[in-house]
Amino acid sequence: MIQFEKLGIFLSKPVAFLIVLIYLLQSGLLVYLIRDKIGLEKQIEYQQVRINELEEKLQIFKAIDDFQIGFNDSEVRRLTDVIYRESRKYRYDPMFTLAIILTESSFKRGQKSPVGARGLMQVVPFVGEDVALRAGVDWEGSQTLFEPESNIKLGTLHLFEQVLKFGDIKKALLAYNIGETRLRGLIRGNKPLPKAYLDRVMQNYQMLKETYQV
């Protein structure tokens, strides 16, 4: 007999063993249920993240499809993926990246400006060549800028580097548009900064958010 003195209970060894076994089984089951619940919650959280990602990509896809000129459905899907990925890498709202593309090239394939800027984000060759290695792009001359995925990688990184240099998204956008050297000259000379480009980007950004983000 096993004596539980404080409780004044006497139990046989088999009964005591059975009680301990039941307790251990209950404890083990409780631990399992807790772990299972945590695992289920993590799975639900992961699935919700995936749903949110797919919904955001659908918004991007719709926006691209409505404005693009010269791209087929397969290319639009690839553009959706690269815009989403590169925007998240640098913590841009993808709609902001789209607003820049819309402002720069009207989302038209093969655009080239009078000053030689090329592609969707209108990157000039010397900038593209400078940024290429850091962006993970194989630079094969200025024609690289007409490859949509490469162009977006180069453009988004170039803008991000301007943000780091100037510490301000508006100045970074101006540097992206008129060039870092010219912008610094305006700042040093205490001259007014141009607003037209900034206004167009922000108007496009607001339009895209109101139209495609719910």
The string of pLDDT tens digits covering residues 7-34 is: 445 556 666 667 766 767 777 777 777 7
Q: Does the pLDDT of residue 134 top 90, yes or no?
A: yes
Is 2-212 a domain of CATH 3.30.310.50?
no
In this structure, the number of other CB atoms found within 10 A of the CB of residue 207 comes to 14
Quote the pLDDT of residue 2.
46
Average pLDDT over residues 85-96: 96
Give the separation between CA 174 and CA 47, rounded to whole angstroms.
39
* Residue 141 token pair: 């001359």
Give the separation between CA 208 and CA 100, rounded to whole angstroms.
11
Work out the burial of residue 103: count CB atoms within 10 Å of its CB; fewer than 13 is exposed, 13-18 middle, 19 or more buried: buried
Q: What is the pLDDT of residues 23-74, one digit of tens each?
A: 677 777 777 777 766 776 777 676 776 778 889 999 999 999 999 999 999 9
Whole-model pTM: value is 0.79
What are the structural domain ranges in the chain?
2-212
Q: What is the pLDDT of residues 137-182, one digit of tens each?
A: 999 999 999 999 999 999 999 999 999 999 999 999 999 999 999 9
Quote the pLDDT of residue 190.
95
* Residue 159 token pair: 């803008």
**Percent of the chain beyond pLDDT 90?**
74
Q: Does the pLDDT of residue 202 top 90, yes or no?
A: yes
Quote the pLDDT of residue 214.
63
Q: Which one is predicted more confidently, 105 or 54?
A: 105
Cβ distance 166 to 175 under 8 Å?
A: yes
Contacts of 96-102 spanning 24+ positions with Cβ under 8 A: 96/205, 97/152, 97/156, 98/60, 98/63, 98/64, 98/204, 98/208, 99/201, 99/202, 99/204, 99/205, 99/208, 100/155, 100/159, 100/173, 100/176, 100/201, 101/152, 101/155, 102/67, 102/204, 102/208
CA Rg value for the chain: 29
